[in-house]
Amino acid sequence: MKLSEFDYELPKSLIAQHPAESRDKSRLMVLHRKSGRIEHRNFTEIVNLFGPDDLLVINNTKVKPVRLLGEKPTGGKVEILLVSKKDDNLWEALVKGLSNGIIVFDERLTAEVEKLPGHEGGCRLVRFSSDPENYAESHGVMPLPPYIKRAPDDKDKERYQTVYAKEPGAIAAPTAGLHFTTEILDKLRKRGVAIHVITLHVGPGTFKPVTAPELKGHTMDEESFHIGSTTADAVTQAKKTGRRVFAVGTTTTRTLETAFKDGRLMPGSGASSLFITPGYRFKAIDGLLTNFHLPKATPLMLTSAFAGLYNTRYAYQEAVKENYRFFSYGDAMLIV
């Protein structure tokens, strides 16, 4: 397939710059993938769309304030986004404003940016003078996506995080889960919906732009995940008995599809580089809750694979027409 098939026109005014007034005040588009029928609802109504035999899988990764702001010795501004720890004070990181050299954060912390072979223009190796995680806890800011054209504020520390975030390690939130409140989750449980967790730490690979003109030329970067035995057994049993399995977000979907083998979900830790595009045959999920994604982005390709390319195009046209809010702080779509 060609990359151009996943492009669409989006007015900048529909890119959400702030979260909704409260998490569950988002809108919810319901897309029926067999018929292509669309319903316009509010997110609070999602409870009524699940049955007592359904299973919902969520990603409990937690975003850390890993965006660090520093300066060159000459005074120029530099921004670092910590990605993964390689050794004591050696990190793989995204660096903006410096190709290599020294960065000064304060009198306690400096860093030197080195080249990372094979990742030109992407991640770099950064050697810190001391542990940058300690510095990030007090001085780091939430790593909001670049399409949010404002500085992070105190509200983002809470709202750019799911209410069930537990395992630190992500550089971005699994945004489909941002709409849930503890009250909605409790109502789902009372309705009989079984809620289970996986962990996939969202890394830069999720947002890595597709530059190849054809999708077969793109490679996803690996992201680490963990699936506990309770979740693995529950999903396996649900598939055997014909119960519906819903994934909250594309990160959850890729984790489940990566680890689903020979009719069962395998527990344990691993890494996923699964690139899901139209034509993929889903093994684990029967429903998907997701946000509205960027043009030409890999999450949009996954959504198109599950809902169907024509259905997804039509749904996005309707979302623009009806002034839905797009991207991380935007509205949600439930594909059933």
336 residues of the chain, pLDDT tens digit each: 999 999 999 999 999 999 999 999 999 999 999 999 999 999 999 999 999 999 999 999 999 999 999 999 998 999 999 998 998 899 999 999 888 889 999 988 999 998 765 454 568 899 999 999 999 999 999 999 999 999 999 899 999 999 999 999 999 999 999 999 999 999 999 999 999 999 999 988 777 889 999 999 999 999 999 999 999 999 999 999 999 999 999 999 999 999 999 999 999 999 999 999 999 999 999 999 999 999 999 999 999 999 999 999 999 999 999 999 999 999 999 999
The token pair that represents 36 in the structure block: 């292509």
Helix (H, G, I), strand (E, B) or coil at 205: helix
CA distance 202 to 100: 26
134, 3, 132, 13: which is closest to 70 by C-alpha?
132
Radius of gyration of the chain (CA): 20
Q: The domain at 3-63+156-335 falls in which architecture? A: 3-Layer(aba) Sandwich (3.40)
Report how far residue 195's alpha carbon sits from residue 68's, in angstroms, rounded to the nearest whole number: 35
| Per-residue confidence (pLDDT) for residue 209, from 0 to 100 | 86
- Given this model, what pLDDT does residue 45 score? 98
The answer to whether 79 touches 95, Cβ cutoff 8 Å, is yes
Say which CATH architecture domain 67-140 belongs to: Beta Barrel (2.40)
Give the pLDDT of residue 205.
78
Is the whole model's pTM more than 0.85, yes or no?
Answer: yes
Q: Are 27 and 324 in contact (CB under 8 A)?
A: yes
Q: How far apart (Å, rounded) are the C-alpha atoms in residues 213 and 302?
A: 17
| pLDDT on residue 98 | 86
41 phi and psi angles, rounded to 5 deg: -135, 180
Q: What is the pLDDT of residue 186?
A: 98
Q: Are the beta carbons of 225 and 199 closer than 8 angstroms?
A: yes
Per DSSP bridges, beta strands 264-265 and 260-261 are antiparallel
Closest Cα to residue 104, out of 130, 131, 70? 70
The pLDDT value given to residue 116: 62
What stretch(es) of the chain map to CATH 3.40.1780.10?
3-63+156-335
CB 61 within 8 A of CB 165: yes
Q: Where in the chain is the domain with CATH 2.40.10.240?
A: 67-140
Residue 114, pLDDT score:
83
Q: How many CB atoms lie within 10 A of CB 166?
A: 10
Q: Within 13 Å of residue 218, how many CA atoms lie on the same side as its CB? A: 24
